[in-house]
A and B are shown apart, each in its own frame.
Chain A
Amino acid sequence: MRFRLTEDQRALREGVRQLLARRFGREALRAAVAAPGLDRALWRELGAAGFFALRLPEADGGVGLGLPETVLAFEEAGRVLLPGPLVATHLAAASVPGAATGETVVAAADGRLVEWLTEADVVRGEVAGAVPLRSVDPLTPLHRTAAAGPTDPVAVLLTAAEQLGTATRVCELAVQHARTREQFGQPIGAFQAVKHLCAEMLVRAETARAAVYAAAVTAQPADIATARLLADEAAQLGTRDCLQVHGGMGFTWESEVHLHLKRSWVRAQRGGANTESEELLAADLVG
């Protein structure tokens, strides 16, 4: 058994992290909130780097890697709140011309929602009569569809990877703030009430990490459902606790915390309701 990242996987993660830091850092995130819309140049750059073609065979111009590596790339995307229909375009790499290279932006109906419907070049799934929502997440335009479509387990897993990225990132943000913000003459991170919030964020994120990485190796439905439940929990509770640690600052539009919070809510709606995963895992007990 060898359940840990290989050197190459670490290198891949580092490569993605650097690319995203260069092309979608804090400033870019702020700019995106101020002027929402899909950055086509960034999309093509992601395509050129192989982000959408990670799992395409090399013979077809892809990178020829598997789910474990793809999960790492999506975790990084989740960390920086990279906007756009990343999962849908990645899943379309083999079937929609131009998706793999980032030339074509692909959106897809998922459950009763479609993200990025009007900005996409190709839309998959039943979206006739879709109506726009005033999206809670400033970086994810949303439409509601008339009928609920099927969900792809790989989409569920990649979403869990993005949630894991958020869970990890907000734990770091909370810790950074707790170390520097002082009240009562000491860093607030010296107060146990704050310390324990941070510790629980880490425990949830690390447990979710084990579940997400394992699901990427096995691709079994019960493992994916597990990853999804744990990652949703880690992201949604983590963003909340991060907000709490930031105090009034956490409640502002300026801070990046609300963006993580809102995106974690959007992602939690993907892949059918949480209850479906719970039912799947209940059935697994008696199956």
Chain B
Amino acid sequence: MRRQIAVWGPPVDLAQSPEEEEFRARLREWLAKVLPTLPPRPSPDDWPGRRAYDLGWQRTLYDAGYAGLHWPVDAGGQGATPTQHLIFLEETERAGAPYVGANFVGLLHAGPTIAAEGTPEQRARWLPPVLRGEEVWCQGFSEPDAGSDLASLRTRACRDGDDYVVTGSKIWTSHAEVADWCELLVRTDQRAPRHRGITWLALPMDAPGVTVRPLRTLAGSAEFAEVFLDEVRVPATHRVGEENDGWRVTMVTLSFERGTAFVGEVVACRRVLGELARTARENGRWDDPALRRRLGRLNAEFRALWRLTQWNVSEAEAGGGVPGVGGSVFKLRYSQARQRLYDAAADVLGPDCLDLDRPWTLDRLSSLSYTIAAGTSQIQRNIVAERILGLPKGR
């Protein structure tokens, strides 16, 4: 131990650098100015209204130079560091700014995929409208018979001249009703090993043969849909990456979804926890030590999740900006914590937890999707066990 003191280097630092602090200050100032000018939020069932609202916010970000913060500069992004991106997500949530909403797939998945794997023409065609808030993307991966086992997907695409002809169906497609484009995974080689016969296509949602049928979630609203594809013609120029290389193309950016997608939500959960405690003080539940300690433990949980986020972001920053498998560790813990938070909310509210006019009631219901969407908890545990711990694959 003693011998090492001579080479002591820069310490661990949880504080932000002066540049980072300046970035935060400018952002705060801008948010304070712009948020009061936003139109009122549309109701959850007003899909055209939601689309317009989410795109409008994206346009506002674009005009102020905050669009595609974490995207590389040559893709039209700002090339911000992961820490700046973290600050952005933290501050926008704190200030109560709109969520990424309908822009999610465009900004967090399809966009980065095109940026990483697309040709110059493809990048020029698809990336600017995402950044400017002009086009909405959805993600057509899951199928009725291919959920966790995504590689077993069966939607077929056959080459016919300059087009692919696509037939099959997708399910659980979020925002399908309002999307302009769908990042679609299709099978182009029936005989190749499962992962090697898949291709990534950009499907225009208004193409003839595309039918969208909304599905109602347990919360009562239509957040996702079934998408039926009947001999839909997709130009071969809409293929990103090589034919049959779609699995790799997709996986390059799938980890983005798990890396920073939940940063704002952790901030939001901490705010909700504070509101819960204040509500408990008002309604007398706070006098119950068991309830207080439960909230105290949740405070520990979300504080730790925030630290884990900072840790992962610092690791990503050192590792060239690529979110690692740490995302699976985070997602497992966070999705469970979020469900516990809203269960505690029910305990604070008592009978009112059954009232759908209480916001926490709907939030409690939607928290149940967190252990399913974007890879179920069981699948995440498989990933952690096999890819991080090196345990053998099951049969």
The chain A residues found within 8 Å of chain B, CB to CB, are 1-9, 11-12, 15-16, 19, 49-51, 54, 58, 63-66, 68, 73, 171, 175, 178-179, 186-187, 189-192, 194-196, 198-200, 202-203, 206-211, 213-214, 217-218, 222-223, 225-226, 229-230, 275, 277-286
- Report chain B residues within 8 Å CB of A198: 385, 389, 391
The chain B residues found within 8 Å of chain A, CB to CB, are 1-5, 7-17, 20, 83, 86, 273-274, 276-278, 281, 286, 289, 292-293, 295-297, 299-301, 303-305, 307-308, 310-311, 313-315, 318, 326, 329, 332-333, 378, 380-382, 384-386, 388-395
User: Can you name 17 A-B residue pairings with CB atoms under 8 Å?
Assistant: A1-B313, A3-B314, A8-B9, A49-B2, A63-B1, A179-B391, A189-B385, A190-B392, A195-B386, A199-B381, A203-B329, A203-B332, A207-B308, A210-B304, A214-B307, A222-B299, A282-B295
Which of these, A4, A63, A171, A218, contacts B311 with CB under 8 Å?
A4
Q: B281 near A191 (CB under 8 angstroms)?
A: no
Q: A284 near B13 (CB under 8 angstroms)?
A: no
- Report chain A residues within 8 Å CB of B389: 171, 175, 198-199, 202
- Report chain A residues within 8 Å CB of B305: 207
Q: A189 near B13 (CB under 8 angstroms)?
A: no
Q: B388 near A202 (CB under 8 angstroms)?
A: yes
Closest residue of B by beta carbon distance from A171: B389
Q: B310 near A214 (CB under 8 angstroms)?
A: yes
Q: B9 near A218 (CB under 8 angstroms)?
A: no
Asked whether A192 and B307 contact (CB < 8 A) given A2-B10, A3-B14, A50-B1, the answer is: no
B235 shortest CB reach to chain A, Å: 43
Instruction: Please name 15 further chain A to chain B contacts, defined as beta carbons within 8 Å, in addition to the given A4-B12, A285-B299, sorted by A numbering.
Output: A1-B13, A4-B318, A11-B7, A16-B1, A54-B1, A68-B11, A68-B12, A179-B392, A195-B386, A196-B378, A198-B391, A199-B382, A218-B14, A281-B295, A285-B277
A179 shortest CB reach to chain B, Å: 7
- Report chain A residues within 8 Å CB of B17: 1
Q: A63 near B2 (CB under 8 angstroms)?
A: yes
Q: How far is the CA of A129 from the CA of B319 in the complex (A)?
A: 57
Q: B311 near A210 (CB under 8 angstroms)?
A: yes
Question: Which 5 pairs between the two chains have the least Cβ-Cβ distance?
Answer: A282-B296, A278-B296, A281-B296, A278-B293, A285-B277
Which of these, B278, B378, B380, contacts A286 with CB under 8 Å?
B278
B227 shortest CB reach to chain A, Å: 31
Q: B293 near A279 (CB under 8 angstroms)?
A: yes
Q: How far is the CA of A211 from the CA of B304 in the complex (A)?
A: 5
- Report chain B residues within 8 Å CB of A186: 392, 395
Closest residue of B by beta carbon distance from A19: B1
Which of these, A202, A208, A217, A283, contacts B384 with CB under 8 Å?
A202
Closest residue of A by beta carbon distance from B309: A210
Q: A7 near B9 (CB under 8 angstroms)?
A: yes
- Report chain B residues within 8 Å CB of A210: 304, 307-308, 310-311
Q: How far is the CA of A210 from the CA of B281 in the complex (A)?
A: 31
Q: How far is the CA of A54 from the CA of B1 in the complex (A)?
A: 8
- Report chain B residues within 8 Å CB of A68: 11-12
Asked whether A192 and B394 contact (CB < 8 A) given A202-B388, A207-B304, the answer is: yes
- B interface majority secondary structure: helix
- Report chain A residues within 8 Å CB of B332: 199-200, 203
A178 shortest CB reach to chain B, Å: 6
- A interface majority secondary structure: helix
Closest residue of A by beta carbon distance from B301: A230
A80 shortest CB reach to chain B, Å: 15
Q: A3 near B2 (CB under 8 angstroms)?
A: no
Q: B382 near A192 (CB under 8 angstroms)?
A: yes
Q: How far is the CA of A191 from the CA of B388 in the complex (A)?
A: 16
Q: How far is the CA of A211 from the CA of B390 in the complex (A)?
A: 25
Q: How far is the CA of A279 from the CA of B299 in the complex (A)?
A: 10
Which of these, A4, A203, A229, A283, contacts B300 with CB under 8 Å?
A229
Q: How far is the CA of A115 from the CA of B372 in the complex (A)?
A: 47
Q: A1 near B14 (CB under 8 angstroms)?
A: yes
Q: How far is the CA of A218 from the CA of B11 in the complex (A)?
A: 12
Q: B83 near A230 (CB under 8 angstroms)?
A: no
Q: How far is the CA of A76 from the CA of B259 in the complex (A)?
A: 29
B16 shortest CB reach to chain A, Å: 5
Asked whether A63 and B384 contact (CB < 8 A) given A195-B394, A278-B297, the answer is: no
Q: B394 near A286 (CB under 8 angstroms)?
A: no
- Report chain A residues within 8 Å CB of B278: 286
- Report chain B residues within 8 Å CB of A217: 12-14
Which of these, A63, A222, A286, contacts B303 with CB under 8 Å?
A222
Asked whether A279 and B394 contact (CB < 8 A) given A207-B329, A225-B300, the answer is: no
Q: A49 near B12 (CB under 8 angstroms)?
A: no
- Report chain A residues within 8 Å CB of B83: 1
